[in-house]
Structure 1
């Protein structure tokens, strides 16, 4: 399993993903689930994946192969004129990869399922973010729904719903994601460190701040311990139950 979050703020976007792909007593693997393609001054595209590792890696591999063989008749994500077209091309690739994997009929499509978050901006267009489903269709982030999660999302969602503010700074958004991921890590062994963090500043059309967060990261440990202490303090401050 995995956990990835994309936030669409007024000032830009924030992406965070874990790196765990297998969980067990003696079988834990880590792979990067965040991919970025950038043509400075023209476009920035960041993709995060959750689901079957073979499927997600094949999708990314095919996208990169298409870049090498792109033409006017068959453009790739680095040539199309809008983020909507980027999402459409990725969706088509996801659908084709899953269909190809299940053509033998030996396993259900669920075994090869994969979901993606893609966000970015292309010169002349607005900053946009999409959630792409295994079927290839997709939806867009809006002011009413300004973030997407894929993977093991239920443990980290409450903090996002309660505290996300579209006007918050990148630094506060990062703190929010640290708490969301810490809550998820403490609740599910299938999500694990290290984490990957990336900022994108609106209209910059270039890579922003990036960080790999390891288990011994001082700020992560401070947030994890501080959040636990804050929850205990908030719980103790609530009125005790009174029996009738």
Structure 2
């Protein structure tokens, strides 16, 4: 299982991907985020699905990008179309063999960045079939993988005008909630931000790095529950 989160707000982009990879009874760490140079800019790609499909699609994508002339005049959606071309080619080559092994052709992708043709940072979700949607003001985030557990934090707290400092905290809490609820999601995590100044920043965190945040949140969350004013609504359930 995977947890990848992409957020697009007025201040820029935020990307988070967990690093736990499971296969049968085995678990180890493997990056689910990669950076790809396109013209003068870098594109962030996060994936959820079969690792073999991911690696082959990204290799084909890099090959196709090398064939493109005048990359500096394009928008990110043009790079998305190149990626879907690579994804569909892998589907043609591998889908039937995977089905014979009772495996689904499953690769969801979040692609983020800003190319010279874009007026602002952009983010897209690409489905296994190769179709895609844009993450925009009305839908400022998208998750792939274990999508349910961190959703309450995102729906309640995240808005398009949320500041990047707060976006990072919300992203962390959505991951932490997912990690607690499923053993297939865990550290290390990659966290990336992108500002309108065309600057990607990337950090990798282990559990010990963020343990103070986890401990603070658990302590204060318990306090909040204890002090939640019920105005005697539940009185009949606890008193005779």
TM-score by length of 2: 0.88
Identify the residue that residue 214 of structure 1 maps to in structure 2.
Answer: 206
Identify the residue that residue 125 of structure 1 maps to in structure 2.
Answer: 118
Matched-pair contact (CA < 8 Å) for 1:23–1:190: no
Q: In 2, distance between residues paired with 1:49 and 1:80?
A: 26
What is the Cα deviation at residue 60 of structure 1?
Answer: 1.1
User: Is the aligned partner of 1:33 residue 2:27?
Assistant: no
Superposed counterparts of 1:97-136, under 5 Å: 97-104=90-97, 106-107=100-101, 111-126=104-119, 127-136=121-130
Give the aligned length.
232
| 29 and 131 in structure 1: CA distance in 2 versus 1, 3 angstrom threshold | same
Unaligned runs of 5+ in 1: none
What is the Cα deviation at residue 178 of structure 1?
Answer: 1.1
Unaligned runs of 5+ in 2: none
Q: In 2, distance between residues paired with 1:156 and 1:30?
A: 21
| 118 and 71 in structure 1: CA distance in 2 versus 1, 3 angstrom threshold | closer
Identify the residue that residue 96 of structure 1 maps to in structure 2.
Answer: 89
What is the Cα deviation at residue 116 of structure 1?
Answer: 0.2
SS, match of residue 235 in structure 2? coil
Instruction: Encode CA deviations 1:68-109: one digit per residue, 9 max, x unaligned.
Output: 4x155xx8xx5671111112221222222123112345145x
User: Is the aligned partner of 1:228 residue 2:218?
Assistant: yes
Instruction: Encode CA deviations 1:188-213: one digit per residue, 9 max, x unaligned.
Output: 011010000111011x234x221100
Identify the residue that residue 61 of structure 1 maps to in structure 2.
Answer: 59
TM-score by length of 1: 0.87
Root mean square deviation, CA, Å:
2.1
Q: In 2, distance between residues paired with 1:173 and 1:121?
A: 19
**Match for 1:49 among 47, 50, 65?**
47
What is the Cα deviation at residue 168 of structure 1?
Answer: 2.9
User: Is the aligned partner of 1:86 residue 2:86?
Assistant: no
